[in-house]
């Protein structure tokens, strides 16, 4: 099977041209070795799912990795504790079915004993205690149901088990990694006592995840070198990588999308890659409809304050100080539209700036 540039779904090294993210994976694995809990919160199409997949491949020999996604499981799952708890165990079992069938069957054997989150907690304790390896939990698309009280209670349960484990009073997942757009540490969970008016974050146990997920020039060049070698395409990989970074600021989808356009639409005869190709591909990209741009337009059109703020930046040329305490700046930062440049708010890359203009 010939490799290609991929901008939909998870990237597989044997199928797709990919940047070398070894350095990023090494840093994440250090957090896992410390038994930390954290969330990879980054904008849409920023390589979160691919990073989780690559992590699983690196860790599966030393850990029992349970990897699942909350995307597409429906809202009804989150209406009752019994339903959610059973589905959660089924998702765990499905994840292990092709990597450790014995452990998958062991999990399903516990399923009939679950009626609520308390039972789920006990099952997790039992499963982890009897496992031969440390168990790691990955949950992708975690913010799909982050406004659901049952989901927040589930996070609160994992948080409580983590704290008890540190005191030697429980067994639970060695590390839990959640992936999504929003930082769910900011979500609030009401205590069960209705008279208690305080709120507490269900995920305030998470350590900071400050690993830079965008592609740098060296990483982009690693993908170009592999591509040019396999396709016998002549290019100055360093210069092309610099050009790609100049346009995209390393936004993973944009980098790969430009390469895909050049490869499949502009350079079918495998000629030398030049700056002219980058410019032409950029124009094609800006004129097309894709999921990233559709998401950008939806987010801006649905938030009048954000729209006005971007208008002032781009059309009026206003300078604004970067401060994440400002909810509009924070929202633009979460979506990946704003960056902090010398203390000022700037649009994160040239392509977004042109598309928003």
Q: Which DSSP string do the residues of 315-353 spell out, in sequence order?
A: TS----B--TTSHHHHHHHHHT-EEEETTEEEESSHHHH
Q: Are 184 and 195 in contact (CB under 8 A)?
A: no
Percent of the chain with pLDDT strictly greater than 70: 95
Where in the sequence of the chain do the CATH 1.10.8 domains occur? 217-287
Three-class SS state of 155: helix
When pLDDT is cut at 50, 70 and 90, the band that residue 189 belongs to is very low
State which CATH number among 1.10.8, 2.60.120, 1.10.3470, 1.10.260 fits the domain covering 217-287.
1.10.8
- 333 is written with which tokens? 């930062």
Strongest mean pLDDT among 151-155, 202-206, 207-211? 207-211
CATH topology for the 22-200 domain? Rossmann fold (3.40.50)
Name residues whose C-beta falls within 8 Å of residue 267's C-beta, 6 or more positions apart in sequence.
233, 273, 277
| pLDDT beyond 90 at 110 | no
H-type helices in 97-148, by residue range?
Answer: 101-108, 117-130
Three-class SS state of 187: coil
**Which secondary-structure segment (H or E) carries 135?**
strand 135-140
When pLDDT is cut at 50, 70 and 90, the band that residue 243 belongs to is very high
Interatomic CA distance for residues 274 and 288, integer angstroms: 22
Interatomic CA distance for residues 170 and 172, integer angstroms: 7
Burial 117-135 (b: 16+ CB within 10 A, else e): bebbbebbbebbeebebbb
Where in the sequence of the chain do the CATH 3.40.50 domains occur? 22-200
Whether the model clears a pTM of 0.85, i.e. scores above it, the answer is yes
């Amino acid at each position: 099977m010939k490799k290609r540039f991929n901008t939909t779904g998870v990237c597989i090294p044997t199928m797709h041209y990919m940047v070398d993210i070894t350095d990023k994976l090494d840093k994440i694995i250090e957090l896992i070795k410390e038994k930390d809990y954290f969330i990879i919160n980054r904008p849409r199409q920023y390589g979160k799912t691919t990073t989780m997949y690559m992590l699983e491949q690196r860790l599966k020999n030393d850990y029992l990795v349970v990897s699942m996604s909350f995307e597409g499981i429906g809202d009804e799952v989150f209406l009752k504790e019994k339903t959610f708890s059973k589905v959660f165990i089924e998702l765990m079992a499905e994840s292990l079915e092709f990597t450790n069938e014995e452990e998958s069957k062991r999990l399903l054997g516990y399923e009939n004993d679950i009626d609520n989150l308390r039972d789920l907690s006990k099952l997790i304790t039992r499963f982890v205690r009897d496992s031969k390896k440390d168990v790691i939990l990955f949950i992708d698309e975690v913010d799909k149901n982050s406004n659901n009280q049952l989901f927040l209670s589930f996070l609160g349960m994992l948080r409580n088990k983590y704290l008890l484990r540190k005191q030697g009073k429980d067994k639970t997942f060695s590390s839990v990694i959640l992936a999504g757009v929003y930082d769910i540490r900011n979500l609030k969970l009401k205590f069960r006592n209705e008279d208690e008016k305080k709120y507490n974050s269900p995920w305030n146990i998470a350590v900071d995840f400050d690993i830079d997920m965008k592609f740098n020039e060296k990483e982009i060049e690693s993908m170009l070198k592999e591509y040019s070698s396999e396709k016998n395409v002549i290019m100055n990989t360093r210069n092309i990588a610099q050009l790609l970074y100049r346009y995209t600021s390393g936004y993973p989808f944009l980098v790969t999308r430009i390469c895909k356009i050049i490869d499949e639409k502009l350079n079918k005869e495998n000629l030398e890659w030049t700056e002219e190709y980058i410019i032409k591909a950029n124009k094609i990209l800006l004129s097309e409809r894709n999921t990233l741009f559709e998401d950008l337009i939806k987010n801006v059109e649905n938030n009048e304050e954000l729209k006005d703020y971007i208008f002032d930046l781009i059309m009026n040329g206003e300078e604004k100080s970067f401060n994440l305490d400002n909810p509009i700046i924070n929202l633009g930062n979460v979506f990946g539209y704003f960056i902090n440049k010398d203390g000022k708010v700037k649009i994160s890359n040239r392509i977004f700036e042109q598309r928003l203009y």
